[in-house]
Chain A
């Protein structure tokens, strides 16, 4: 096994899997995929900063 010098969390153990019918995914990959979905949802839901500047730009006909 390769050495894992300095890693706080040792991930060098055989993976656990998420099994459902014919689907067998490693927990790490499931975490990545779920995180992607969460991040995508947050990206389209969370308000983007600068709303006041954009509103000012709309009203004034240019940026403040």
Chain B
């Protein structure tokens, strides 16, 4: 027979530091977990209005970036001259070039979709801003690649692009005819910038949730959810109002 009244066994709590804590680690951890609890960072459900092929172009952009960085890493492994004199090198150079074309292709379709959805609504302005800056940083990332090719294309593009950059003074510290500098920007600095921006962009989407549809009238504000869908808990919609 159960012992009525007996307290249930207590599972010992994990050791916690007493609050308030001056520990930077604790502060960063608590802020991070507050902004992105695991269920919001990696939700296994999405609102039912996420029901269009236009929604795949964001992840397609990330996928293209993965292929760009993967193929670019192979090219970096063997050095900048390799692809000129081996067929395997030319193969990976081609993958790199076509994945860049695909990247801009799907990124712009993603941008068109997000504009026509006015996806900055509900306090999502930073999502738009980080996405736009990503595009604008991707352009010089591609330019530095083109001028690092060490072929005729690189000769022509660098001797032409220098004029635009010199005219605004940027050429004084960013020299497109300096192969060493351009290669460094292309394989390290600008990819880091793109990856950081894309990460911020995606984390902001996870934090805010995918933007809800425009309301046609009051009836479409959405019935209250009895329980979230999915196999686990879906993220609470906390898209902050602007």
Contacts and interface: CB of A to CB of B under 8 A. Distances in A.
Complex contact flag A–B (Cβ < 8 Å): yes
Given A61-B225, A62-B226, A43 B91 contact: no
Contacts of B87: 5-6
A40 interface: yes
A3 B84 CA distance: 9
Interface residues of A, number: 22
B112 A57 contact: no
Interface in B37-56: 45, 48, 51-56
A48 B53 contact: yes
Contacts of B48: 54, 57-58
A39 interface: yes
A40 to B, nearest CB: 5
A36 B109 contact: yes
A14 interface: no
A42 B112 CA distance: 13
B174 interface: no
A63 B105 contact: no
Contact of A43 (B101, B113, B226, B230): B113
Contacts of B108: 36
A51 interface: yes
B52 A48 contact: yes
Contact of B51 (A2, A36, A40, A51): A51
B76 to A, nearest CB: 21
Contacts of B113: 40, 43-44
B90 A5 contact: yes
Interface of B: 45, 48, 51-57, 84, 87, 90-91, 101, 105, 108-109, 112-113, 151, 225-231
27 contacts: A3-B90, A5-B87, A5-B90, A6-B91, A35-B105, A36-B105, A39-B105, A40-B54, A40-B109, A40-B112, A40-B113, A43-B52, A43-B54, A43-B56, A43-B109, A44-B52, A48-B53, A48-B55, A54-B51, A57-B48, A57-B229, A58-B48, A61-B226, A62-B225, A62-B227, A62-B230, A63-B45
